[in-house]
Structure 1
């Protein structure tokens, strides 16, 4: 890995869609390219493994976010899922309706939304709103997610961009309750679809955007592909998606670190979720509880639990169906993709380079290093978080005033202006 700034490589169609920004119409690639600042990797984290391992070291957590949790039901199967809405600080304490499940605990800085607050949800304002989807077994509390959501939701006068935001927690994640006999899978888009419908009902004038991280990016890609030109999102950002799950799984088990660290840790996290909600699955004839408990690796959990619950004949059949590569070809909204070529989890051989070039709605930036959802830079900060924020902000350039855009650039991303100047028309 070089110890100097690495300039991201762009991948896109030769005939991209055109976007109108201010008074000028630009190809998608010309719109996105100025947002790509160099990645100045921390020289001590000189490969993808070190970058990825560093995500477990949370000695510096500057991104404080407070959430109010709303519990929603999906009428398709009667199951419940939770949505954590970003709320201002401070907020009044509220009793936890999930006390029986979580022992009175919720993730840090998270509380249940009161009935009064729930009844007041809804507005005719046109505040842009971003939906975030976390990684495998994660939740709204994850630092990688908050590193994007925090600057987006900060007030404009405080150097932020003034977005509203919420996080969709997958069933059973982030200490949420499971009320049916299933958790989630990489192809399960029903809860996201129900959440989007709900937001469109309570906030009919708000433009919706989305950002997905790792496993959540795969689900988000499947969703926007399924929705096609009916998709409600104005733009999406995808960070460190695994894309081809079968390829990624096999690649993990070709190396010691892949199998004995990454796959084992992810498998252990999923088994922990299984144990927390064991009462929902213990009587299911499709599940051999002892077999699930004996597993060590992620593919074993997916073979013995996920594939069985969702009706797949084999774990390979599940991985092939849940992979999002083909759905990327069907997306009809501006889709920004960030990928590190040394990502040890979302491996480079599974990345859909050809599909990106085939779809004029896609733009991908790759860096030679950065690990999985990491991209830690020299002097602090994370390249992917800064880039994802700029992507979502500039997607609003038709609705934001020039003052708001320039103010955000000055306070949050001065480096973009100095190193990679943005066309002046983007600020109009």
Structure 2
């Protein structure tokens, strides 16, 4: 059985959309069915990538340097707490598209960045001109603190539960492109962050819609299942743990200067670990320095997982929301298809595809392409162009005397401003010491 199962919300909302020369109102379930027809077609994995392990390992070890090449223009944002984000923009410039052209906002996976092949697999076609069968959209990848060459300038990294960084990045993007509909795409850990962000914001979300791929949902349950098998424990969990330690190693000199909250001590202790699992890394470092205080630091990794999990907040989502997971994903084994969720949330589950893989055969013998790009492109076009949305009542933005962009009557601790640096980023260039694809 290779058919994708689309789990519609128990009580779907009614939405209006543009249908030929008129406007129609249908349930969100019917909207997904009509506007994302690829979800109803069979996904047939490449014959030599016939299970979730092979799909996942190819995502990590495959050579994608010559496919889906994307050139970015980086902008650095300084946050109110001293942290730095790297925003990588791509697509047509302001002279080549209308001011209200859609903007795709992307969050990458665990230790990735804009260079990831799964990110480029979406942005390369989405940002191509209509004449080349693209969407002609603009896009920006928000690189987490310390990832993809972004300097670490604060006593914290990032985590599955810290949403203020994407919140502040959206201040900047919204002010820079005030009339552009913002549509979100999140991968793996970034999917968890985006889910929590839109749930926390509700009707005030600056994202018009969201599509998430490979979300880890219930962090404790999926961590427990991951480490319950030999491959899960020794290959995937330790592989992700090694990635995090190698990422931390790049910034340990900076972190060693911060004595607040025990960050320097936590960094030093973590650096002494040999091939830790992801849970061991989270226990030593993420629970202490994965976000701002409060609620960080947490007493245990389990407390952090309980706080950061996204499956429990789906009832608060108030925008069109499509999640896609795979049954044979060796990293994410628990998918909340039976959980309580709002009428906006659709969860599609493919029988195969691994973790952020979804590779199907291309024209040549061993050449593959990502099946996932088709449903994601359909969703982006449907929600950015066809869906008729109520004008959101966002909190207005202003720039303070120090140049920080803030929300009127918003959180006083949040604000961001553009700082020097950045430049051209070649998306296909791999990162040293960090495995891609996760």
TM-score by length of 2: 0.79
Q: Structure 1: how far apart are the matches of 2:359 and 2:307? A: 33
**Which residue is 2:341 aligned to?**
358
**Which residue is 1:135 aligned to?**
109
Query: Structure 1: which 5+ residue stretches go unaligned?
Result: 89-116, 401-428
Contact 2:105 2:140 in 1 (8 A): yes
Match status 1:214 vs 2:210: no
Offset at residue 305 of structure 1 (A): 0.8
- What SS does the aligned partner of 1:332 have? coil
Query: Structure 2: which 5+ residue stretches go unaligned?
Result: 290-295, 363-367, 389-438
* CA separation of 1:87 and 1:161: change in aligned 2, threshold 3 A: closer
**Which residue is 1:159 aligned to?**
133
Contact 2:100 2:180 in 1 (8 A): yes
- The alignment's C-alpha RMSD in Å is 2.0
**Which residue is 2:4 aligned to?**
8
Contact 2:183 2:384 in 1 (8 A): no
Range that drifts further, 77-86 or 130-139: 77-86
**Which residue is 2:121 aligned to?**
147
Within 5 Å, give how 1:264-303 maps onto structure 2.
Answer: 264-285=238-259, 286=262, 287-295=265-273, 296-303=276-283
Greater RCO between the two (CA within 8 Å, min separation 6)? 2
Contact 2:83 2:153 in 1 (8 A): yes
**Which residue is 1:125 aligned to?**
99
Offset at residue 171 of structure 1 (A): 0.3
Offset at residue 317 of structure 1 (A): 0.3
- What SS does the aligned partner of 2:354 have? coil
Offset at residue 24 of structure 1 (A): 1.7
**Which residue is 2:374 aligned to?**
386
Q: Structure 2: how far apart are the matches of 1:78 and 1:32? A: 41
* CA separation of 1:205 and 1:124: change in aligned 2, threshold 3 A: farther
Instruction: Report how many aligned residue pairs link the two structures.
Output: 361
* CA separation of 1:396 and 1:124: change in aligned 2, threshold 3 A: closer
Contact 2:252 2:268 in 1 (8 A): no
**Which residue is 2:422 aligned to?**
none
**Which residue is 1:377 aligned to?**
360
Q: Structure 2: how far apart are the matches of 1:386 and 1:11? A: 19
Q: Structure 1: how far apart are the matches of 2:382 and 2:13? A: 16
- What SS does the aligned partner of 2:134 have? coil
Offset at residue 38 of structure 1 (A): 1.9
- Which of the pair is proportionally richer in helix? 1
Q: Structure 2: how far apart are the matches of 1:397 and 1:205? A: 13
**Which residue is 2:435 aligned to?**
none
- What SS does the aligned partner of 2:338 have? helix
Range that drifts further, 36-45 or 140-149: 36-45
- What SS does the aligned partner of 2:361 have? coil
- Which of the pair is proportionally richer in strand? 2
TM-score by length of 1: 0.81
Contact 1:39 1:383 in 2 (8 A): yes
